[in-house]
């Protein structure tokens, strides 16, 4: 029998080496997250998966589960902080959901709904970020980047190409394309790359394919993020 | 170019009266009147005070976002912008001819919008004036008053609009701001269940639309002295005309007539609209003033919308609406009717036509098929023209080799009617306000004239760029000392 820890009063069994987030996901319990992806090593940067372990805050995606841990996740105090983090992500970029192709399929948008975010709350930064449309098949809309680094990890660890990187520090951190010109067209990025399909928001999108899926049939129209079936599907995909 | 009552000679000596905001219209606008001590009218202007900027911020965006983005211009007839943009981008993706399924689904969406928008305008916004009188008790002159005094009329207004919204929902995914049309086609077909749900009510909707025509016809013909002359001005008029001269809201070629009904141009390919239309900027309004190039600024302005369309076409393809069109043309006596209040009558004829077309389409199994998309040789430029509820709507885009929009030009329905609305309110000001003590009821006369055109002021101020601006420095006596102007 596997050892267990307690998550919001529920016993969660885990295998040796699993993180809290992995164990919870396996058990069908959703912990909000954006930079975590089951196929990649944890990054621990978005902090949305923050939980309290024995009264102390930590990222569930990086903290290994241990026998007898008492973990708090789905409580108003932590969800309020997650909501604030999500609001900050919205105002730091230019997220115009109504005309975004990723709407209904966007993890940021779905997480905001899940957390009951009713407004951005903070003043918008309205950063001036150019769109990179140089590649014949893919568009980079940096306005929507949340710095999850999934494209960086996918390109480096799976595709072996290092097309993307995060540059700058602190509030000036931004996604760059690894080419002398800075343009995607001048890299060996390909539509079949893992990095082309991993963006949780609407930064990396295939061209000329806008709004092909009708409203009501997009993934999060059918099943809200965090619903048990989504968690299992995500686990199965891994 | 100066028009009578557009600009007073000595404005600093005049009293300013403002109607701000103009109520029961879409968007935000105001009217200013300059009056002298005897309440004589010296200047009347309809100002559009909203500032939007869509033409600018659509630049640098990928073209496939455009139909979904630009519809945010408006919450009342977003489908018009959605479809006009889609039509322009059809040209860009080389889809000059859509599949029958795609074209019919778009048409269904558009006629659903026509129905809901016309119902909203007539029942919610205008029926209080028409049923109670222009200077009736202001506390009653609204949709709540109509619901109390004429509950069945108000109920029908609500249900007609609701039906149109449902047509939009099943074709676009949402009642407001959906995603149904995409460059080259549509993203969903109708299901049998959706079609059957609409079919249950459509016969009632057609009948109510017929009765709505008869209601406004009765109101109009009972008081010809008022309805045939209120705010009247003569002008050219323009609309799309469909195949064989049919009334067509979705597709066709451009036709314009002069005030006597003689053709100015006809069968003009909508891609060539810039050959015939130009826009003038005036320093006192965010809304441009379009005119026919061939006739010049002074004589080339025109009106669009139901009154233009119903008189510009040769016939209407559906039987009930055609019958009503003939009644209207007979009443007009063989020459074009120019009375602004006749907009209401023709608007209801169009609502009836929309209901009949929806009925026909719901019996067409093409709506259920999956053949929805077409592509072809990529183009760099495209124009989409559609007849929106308020009139002819132009969307014009240029797209670069990387698929980004580099130029957008929109001429919206209300902009096409800019000079016409100003003429109507100046006529009303001369006739009803000149030399009289201003009352709320008299000011409402001005608003009644504006409402007849069903303006959408939020759409009409979509442009951004070199804003027309004049700065004047006056001395203590009100005399100009220095002026700077940019136009």
Q: Please tell me the number of Cα atoms within 13 Å of A94 on its side-chain side.
A: 12
Are residues B481 and B376 both part of a single domain?
no
Are residues A99 and A19 both part of a single domain?
no
Domain housing A163: 92-222
Q: Which residues of A touch B67 (CB under 8 A)?
A: 211
In a domain, B70, yes or no: yes
List, for residues B243-280, the tens digit of each pLDDT value: 899 999 999 999 999 999 999 999 999 999 999 999 99
List, for residues A100-146, the tens digit of each pLDDT value: 999 999 999 999 999 999 999 999 999 999 999 999 999 999 999 99
What are the C-alpha distances in Å from A104 to residues A201, A213, B187? 10, 9, 15
In a domain, B4, yes or no: no
Average pLDDT, chain A: 94
Asked which of B416, B439, B474 is the last residue of a domain, the reply is B416
Q: What's the CATH code of the domain at A144?
A: 3.30.70.20
In a domain, A176, yes or no: yes
In a domain, A87, yes or no: no
Are residues A215 and A99 both part of a single domain?
yes
Tokens representing B465? 């760029």
pLDDT of residue B10: 79
Are residues A191 and A98 both part of a single domain?
yes
Domain housing B21: 11-50+425-485
Taking the CA of residue A185 and the nearest CA in chain B, the distance in Å comes to 11
B108: pLDDT strictly greater than 80: yes
Taking the CA of residue B389 and the nearest CA in chain A, the distance in Å comes to 23
Are residues B340 and B445 both part of a single domain?
no
Q: What's the CATH code of the domain at B195?
A: 1.10.645.10
Are residues B116 and B62 both part of a single domain?
yes
Are residues B45 and B157 both part of a single domain?
no
Q: Please tell me the number of Cα atoms within 13 Å of B296 on its side-chain side.
A: 3
Are residues A218 and A230 both part of a single domain?
no
Contact between B445 and B333 under an 8 Å Cβ cutoff? The reply is: no
Are residues A130 and A181 both part of a single domain?
yes
Average pLDDT over residues B349-373: 98
In a domain, B5, yes or no: no
Q: Which residues of A touch B402 (CB under 8 A)?
A: 133-134
- Chain B: which residues have CB within 8 Å of chain A? 60-62, 64-65, 67-69, 72, 93, 172-174, 177-180, 182-183, 187-188, 402-404
Tokens representing B166? 């449902």
**Residues with Cβ within 8 Å of residue A214, at least 6 apart in sequence:** B173, B179, B180, B187, B188
Asked which of B375, B394, B416 is the last residue of a domain, the reply is B416
* Residue B151 to residue B145: CA distance in whole angstroms: 9
pLDDT of residue B477: 53
Decide: helix, strand or coil at residue B129.
helix
In a domain, B135, yes or no: yes
Number of domains, chain B: 2
What are the C-alpha distances in Å from B47 to residues B27, B243, B288? 12, 37, 11
Q: Which residues of B touch A217 (CB under 8 A)?
A: 188
* Residue B106 to residue A19: CA distance in whole angstroms: 51
Are residues B204 and B225 both part of a single domain?
yes
Are residues A216 and A169 both part of a single domain?
yes
Are residues B322 and B370 both part of a single domain?
yes
Are residues B200 and B347 both part of a single domain?
yes
Are residues A113 and A133 both part of a single domain?
yes
Are residues A213 and A141 both part of a single domain?
yes
Subunit contact A211:B64, Cβ cutoff 8 A: yes
In a domain, B264, yes or no: yes
Best of B56, B78, B179 to mutate (most A CBs within 10 Å, chain A)? B179
Helices A76-92 and A107-114, axial angle in degrees (round to 10): 140
User: What is chain B's Cα-based Rg?
Assistant: 22
In a domain, B355, yes or no: yes
Subunit contact A215:B179, Cβ cutoff 8 A: yes
Subunit contact A212:B187, Cβ cutoff 8 A: yes
What single-letter DSSP state applies at residue B53? Answer: -
Are residues B381 and B433 both part of a single domain?
no
Q: Which residues of B touch A96 (CB under 8 A)?
A: 69
Nearest-by-CA chain B residue for A214: B187
In a domain, A56, yes or no: yes
Are residues B242 and B258 both part of a single domain?
yes
What does the H/E/C string look like for A85-112?
HHHHHHHHCCCCHHHCCCCCCCHHHHHH
Best of A212, A213, A218 to mutate (most B CBs within 10 Å, chain B)? A212
Subunit contact B68:A98, Cβ cutoff 8 A: yes
Its pTM stands at 0.90
Subunit contact A133:B61, Cβ cutoff 8 A: no
Number of domains, chain A: 2
Average pLDDT over residues B278-291: 86
For B404, the closest of A99, A133, A209 (CB atoms) is: A133
pLDDT of residue B44: 86
Are residues A212 and A105 both part of a single domain?
yes
The closest alpha carbon to B117, from B354, B436, B450, B315, belongs to B354
Are residues B256 and B307 both part of a single domain?
yes
In a domain, B102, yes or no: yes
Are residues A69 and A127 both part of a single domain?
no
Q: Which residues of A touch B376 (CB under 8 A)?
A: none
What does the H/E/C string look like for B287-352?
CCEEEEHHHHHHHCCEECCHHHHHHHCCECCCHHHHHHHHHHHHHHCCCCCCCCCHHHHHHHHHHH
Tokens representing B264? 């100015």
Tokens representing B52? 């939007």
Subunit contact B62:A214, Cβ cutoff 8 A: no
For A210, the closest of B64, B402, B404 (CB atoms) is: B64
Are residues A125 and A187 both part of a single domain?
yes
Identify which of A227-231, B223-227, B471-475 has the greatest average pLDDT: B223-227
The closest alpha carbon to A142, from A185, A196, A205, belongs to A205
Are residues B389 and B289 both part of a single domain?
yes
Tokens representing B234? 């003569």
List, for residues B40-58, the tens digit of each pLDDT value: 888 888 877 566 678 888 8
Are residues A23 and A99 both part of a single domain?
no
Decide: helix, strand or coil at residue B283.
coil
> Prior bond to B373 cis, omega within 30?
no
Are residues B374 and B467 both part of a single domain?
no
In a domain, B459, yes or no: yes
Asked which of B393, B416, B439 is the last residue of a domain, the reply is B416
Q: Which residues of A touch B61 (CB under 8 A)?
A: 99, 131
């Amino acid at each position: 029998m596997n050892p267990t820890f307690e998550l919001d009063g529920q016993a969660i069994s885990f295998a040796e080496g699993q993180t809290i987030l992995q164990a919870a996901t396996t058990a069908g319990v959703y912990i909000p997250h954006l930079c975590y992806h089951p196929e990649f090593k944890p990054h621990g940067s978005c902090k949305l998966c923050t939980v309290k372990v024995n009264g102390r805050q930590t990222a569930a995606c990086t903290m290994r589960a241990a026998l007898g841990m008492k973990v708090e996740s789905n409580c108003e105090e932590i969800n309020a902080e997650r909501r604030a983090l999500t609001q900050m992500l919205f105002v730091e970029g230019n997220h115009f959901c109504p005309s975004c192709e990723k709407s209904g399929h966007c993890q940021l948008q779905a997480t905001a709904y899940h957390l009951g975010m009713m407004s951005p709350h903070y003043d918008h930064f309205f950063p001036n970020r150019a769109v990179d449309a140089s590649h014949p098949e893919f568009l980079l809309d940096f306005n929507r980047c949340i710095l999850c680094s999934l494209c960086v990890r996918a390109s480096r660890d799976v595709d072996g190409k290092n097309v993307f990187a995060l540059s700058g520090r602190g509030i000036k951190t931004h996604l760059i394309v690894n080419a002398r010109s800075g343009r995607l067209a001048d890299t060996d990025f390909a539509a079949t790359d893992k990095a082309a399909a991993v963006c949780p928001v609407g930064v990396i999108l295939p061209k000329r394919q806008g709004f092909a899926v009708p409203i009501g049939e997009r993934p999060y129209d059918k099943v809200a993020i965090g619903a048990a079936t989504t968690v299992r599907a995500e686990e199965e995909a891994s | 170019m100066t028009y009578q009552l557009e600009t007073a000679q000595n404005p600093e000596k005049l009293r300013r009266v403002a109607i701000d905001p103009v109520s029961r219209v879409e968007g935000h606008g105001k009217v200013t009147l300059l009056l002298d001590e005897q309440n004589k009218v010296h200047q009347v202007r309809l100002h559009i005070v909203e500032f939007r900027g869509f033409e600018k911020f659509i630049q640098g965006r990928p073209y496939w976002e455009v139909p979904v983005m630009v519809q945010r211009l408006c919450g009342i007839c977003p489908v018009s912008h959605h479809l006009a943009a889609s039509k322009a981008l059809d040209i860009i993706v080389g889809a000059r001819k859509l599949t029958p399924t795609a074209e019919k689904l778009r048409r269904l969406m558009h006629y659903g919008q026509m129905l809901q928008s016309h119902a909203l305008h007539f029942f919610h916004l205008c029926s209080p004036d028409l049923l109670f009188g222009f200077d009736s008790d202001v506390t009653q002159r609204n949709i709540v008053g109509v619901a109390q005094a004429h509950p069945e009329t108000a109920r029908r207004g609500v249900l007609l609009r609701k039906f149109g919204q449902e047509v939009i929902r099943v074709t676009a995914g949402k009642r407001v701001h959906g995603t149904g049309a995409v460059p080259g086609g549509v993203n969903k077909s109708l299901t049998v269940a959706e079609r059957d749900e609409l079919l249950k009510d459509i016969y009632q909707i057609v009948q109510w639309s017929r009765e709505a025509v008869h209601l406004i016809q009765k109101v109009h013909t009972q008081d010809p002295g008022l309805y045939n002359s209120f705010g009247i001005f003569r002008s050219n008029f323009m609309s799309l005309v469909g195949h064989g001269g049919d009334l067509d809201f979705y597709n066709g070629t451009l036709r314009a007539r002069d005030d006597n009904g003689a053709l100015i141009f006809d069968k003009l390919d909508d891609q060539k609209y810039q050959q015939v239309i130009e826009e003038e900027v005036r320093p006192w309004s965010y809304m441009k003033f379009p005119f026919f190039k061939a006739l010049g600024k002074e004589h080339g302005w025109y009106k669009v919308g139901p009154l233009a369309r119903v008189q510009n076409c040769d016939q209407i393809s559906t039987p009930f609406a055609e019958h009503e069109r003939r009644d209207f043309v007979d009443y007009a006596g063989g020459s074009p009717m120019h009375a602004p209040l006749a907009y209401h009558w023709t608007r209801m004829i169009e609502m009836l036509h929309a209901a009949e077309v929806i009925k026909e389409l719901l019996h067409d199994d093409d709506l259920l098929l999956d053949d929805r998309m077409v592509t072809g040789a990529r183009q760099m430029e495209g124009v989409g023209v559609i007849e929106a509820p308020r009139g002819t709507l132009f969307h014009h885009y240029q797209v670069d080799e990387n698929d980004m929009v580099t130029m957008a030009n929109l001429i919206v329905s209300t902009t096409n009617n800019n000079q016409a609305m100003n003429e109507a309110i100046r006529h009303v000001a001369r006739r009803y306000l000149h030399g009289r003590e201003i009352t709320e009821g008299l000011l409402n006369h001005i608003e009644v004239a504006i409402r007849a055109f069903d303006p959408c002021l939020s759409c009409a101020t979509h442009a951004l760029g070199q804003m027309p601006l004049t700065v004047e420095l006056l001395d203590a006596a009100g005399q100009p000392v220095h002026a700077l102007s940019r136009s």
